[in-house]
Amino acid sequence: MATKSELGRFLQTRRAQLQPADVGLPMYDERRRVPGLRRDELAQLAGVSESYYTRLEQGQSLNASPEVLDALARALRLDETERRHLHDLAGTARQSGKGRTRRPAPERVNAATRQLLDSLGDTPAVVLGRYSDMLAWNPLGHALFAGHLDPRSPDQPGRRPNSARMVFLDAHVRDLYDDWPKKARDVVGKLRFAVGQYPDDPVLAELIGELVMHSKEFTTLWSEHRVRDWDIATHRMHHPLVGPVDVLQQAMPLPDGRGQRIVIVTTEPDSASRAALTLLAQLTTPEAGERESNPRPVAGQSPRR
């Protein structure tokens, strides 16, 4: 993931997604040789020379000022998350070529975060790392998102579930989401955001390479260069034990978490979804496990990782 190439591809892809009419430019009956805006049109909108913009897109100029980047973001109609991503890509491109990034140590969850998870009781929660690895979960978070996996797997880096990998490659998780394409776009957008934050990271590169190799759907979405930040998302989930559950997922950064986030799931008070989560908590307690010594297998269950 050479960062200067990522910067150029991001600019080129987003330029191709805009038509002259989208930005107030006249559209003549000429046959255009490129999809979307031409380089000269975008340069004009951003107030820079075409030659300078071309060098920037080709990775030959790595010294774009914040003002120029903001002008390009406005011309490309980027939202705030995409604007930050553009700055991330440009900033890290200036630092490229200074030595290969060492493979980082496996991520860990500190004692304060585990205490926070324990305090949430029957509110489902998981802790995600900078690569979307599931670093920890409370019992109901495990039951809701990954009940088909070993509850101890987040504590073992070699077996640790990854939410992006699960969304695209795990049939059980794919079946959890009523609007799977929306969930897939969110996952890809967050990985795109991570590329800007952690350029040339070998672990992130390996994850993306694996998904490209094994999922055509991921490859298609990855090529669009859409960016998503971690925030609030709503989903209708179809859990194999309790049926449909409408959830609100809120992702919040952890203090001193080095990119870690806690995702907390809530439901509307006095709703069928709240009742479903209550039932799920009852079904997945140790006492329930003792009552069902031979539970039926879950339809569509994936092999344990």
Query: pLDDT tens digit string along 236-275?
Result: 999 999 999 999 999 999 987 678 999 999 999 999 999 9
Residue with tokens 């920037």: 56
Pair 63, 132 in one domain: no
Residue 222: other Cβ atoms inside 10 A: 18
* Residue-number span of the structural domain to which 9 is assigned: 3-93
Pair 138, 269 in one domain: yes
CATH number for position 31: 1.10.260.40
C-alpha span between 148 and 285 (Å, rounded): 15
- 161-184 average pLDDT score: 95
Q: What is the largest CA-CA distance in the chain?
A: 73
C-alpha span between 123 and 248 (Å, rounded): 11
Residues recorded for the chain = 305
Task: Give the global pTM.
Answer: 0.74
**Is residue 166 in some structural domain?**
yes
Pair 124, 221 in one domain: yes
Angle subtended by helix axes 39-46 and 50-57, to nearest 10: 110
8 by DSSP, 3-state: which?
helix
C-alpha span between 7 and 20 (Å, rounded): 22
**Is residue 305 in some structural domain?**
no
**Is residue 44 in some structural domain?**
yes
Contact 8, 57 (CB under 8 A): yes
Predicted confidence at residue 83, as pLDDT, reads 87
Q: Please give the tally of structural domains in the chain.
A: 2
CA 31 to chain centre: 37
Pair 131, 240 in one domain: yes
| Residue 47 banded pLDDT, cuts 50, 70, 90 | confident
- 4-24 average pLDDT score: 82
**Is residue 174 in some structural domain?**
yes
Pair 137, 269 in one domain: yes
Indicate whether 25 pLDDT > 90. no
Cα torsion angle, 212, 216, 217, 221, sign:
positive
